[in-house]
Amino acid sequence: MEDDDRWLIVTVDRDSRVSDRDRYVVNVTIVNFQSLIKAALGLDLRNTIILVWGIGKTMNAPPQLEDFKHRAVVDSTYADMTWKILEHAIHEIYNHNTSGLCMEELYRNAYNMVLHKFGEKLYSGLVLTLTSHLKEMAKSIEAAQEGLFLEELNRKWADHNKALQIIGDILIYMDKTFIPSTHKTPIHELGLNLWRDNIIHSSKIQPRLQDTLLELVQRERTGEVINRDLMRNIMNMFMDLGSSVYQEDFEIPFLEVSADFYRGESQQFIECCDVEII
């Protein structure tokens, strides 16, 4: 650097004469390089901000500040690592271990995946993870004893709905942006469909569920007291899954057995009463 290069020094000092509020005094000085060194050695830096520009033989404009830009490198490795974090969180949610999860961080991870064009990976991973948990739930329901079958089904249904609500909050950005733009099934509806396919329409659960419900109806008709609250919860589950599920899995067989029941009741009434048929 040449000795005759000039520097612009701007110092901003707190005004000690004003005590009730902050006030600053701006000092502007143009010095050559040697004077700059001397000034720096003897400068009191307390409460002082120093801005220095080299201006050479002619004064140049101050440097322009660039707008902040996020320069994080986002690639498939980043997406894999981020998805692993979210996948682990979903497992913890289904296992009732949410106390150690940071929902804000999980939301940000899901947001970044969608923002950086990894929405498809996030969505497909969600489908596989939900399906995996529902298959495990199906095994638990299938293993339930006869008297506890509906209770286990109802308990797992409540767990699934609670998990869906938390997962939906974490993935809300995907639900509002990526899913509509790609015409995919929204998260809540997706969860209901997967429950229907993996639980209600399971080859081991569907016929057992139908037989259990119709048996309860028959027992009540013969005077036995049943758990109506539990029955109501199962009916509400059918309705949440769609009117077609309610009709095919309960209403149609219910009407069939009801017709048989009242046909038999009417026949017995005719036989035991002195009724003249004209």
CATH number at residue 183: 1.20.1310.10
Q: Is the pTM of this model over 0.75?
A: no
Residue 117 has a pLDDT of 94
Task: Please list the residues that pair with 52 across neighbouring strands.
Answer: 9
What's the mean pLDDT in 128-134? 98
Residue 60 has a pLDDT of 47
Q: Let me know: does 33 contact 7? Beta carbons within 8 Å.
A: yes
Number of other residues whose CB lies within 10 A of the CB of residue 40: 12
* Whether residues 216 and 161 fall in one domain: yes
Residue 76 has a pLDDT of 82
- Could you tell me if residue 174 is inside a domain? yes
pLDDT at 275 over 90: no
pLDDT at 185 over 80: yes
List Cβ neighbours of 98 (8 Å cut-off, separation of 6 or more). 92, 166
- Could you tell me if residue 65 is inside a domain? no
More confident residue, 93 or 50: 93
What's the mean pLDDT in 225-249? 95
What's the mean pLDDT in 270-276? 70
- Could you tell me if residue 252 is inside a domain? no
Reported as a single tens digit per residue, the pLDDT across 23-65 is 544 455 555 545 555 555 555 544 444 444 444 444 444 445 4
- Tell me the residue range of the domain where 32 lies: 6-56
The dihedral sign for the CA sequence 174, 179, 184, 186:
positive
pLDDT band with cut points at 50, 70 and 90 for residue 167: very high
pLDDT at 219 over 50: yes
* Whether residues 29 and 158 fall in one domain: no
- Could you tell me if residue 266 is inside a domain? no
- Could you tell me if residue 269 is inside a domain? no
The number of folded domains in the chain is: 2
* Whether residues 212 and 82 fall in one domain: yes
* Whether residues 50 and 85 fall in one domain: no
* Whether residues 40 and 126 fall in one domain: no
pLDDT at 178 over 90: yes
- Could you tell me if residue 51 is inside a domain? yes
Radius of gyration of the chain (CA): 36
Going by C-alpha positions, the residue among 92, 88, 195, 87 that lies closest to residue 137 is: 195
Q: Which range, 52-56, 151-155, 273-277, has the best average confidence (pLDDT)?
A: 151-155
Reported as a single tens digit per residue, the pLDDT across 1-18 is 444 555 555 555 555 554
* Whether residues 191 and 161 fall in one domain: yes
Mean pLDDT of the chain: 82
Residue 176 has a pLDDT of 97
What's the mean pLDDT in 171-182? 97
* Whether residues 142 and 179 fall in one domain: yes
Residue 216 has a pLDDT of 95
**188 vs 84, 111, 244, CA distance in Å?**
21, 18, 18
* Whether residues 51 and 112 fall in one domain: no
* Whether residues 96 and 196 fall in one domain: yes
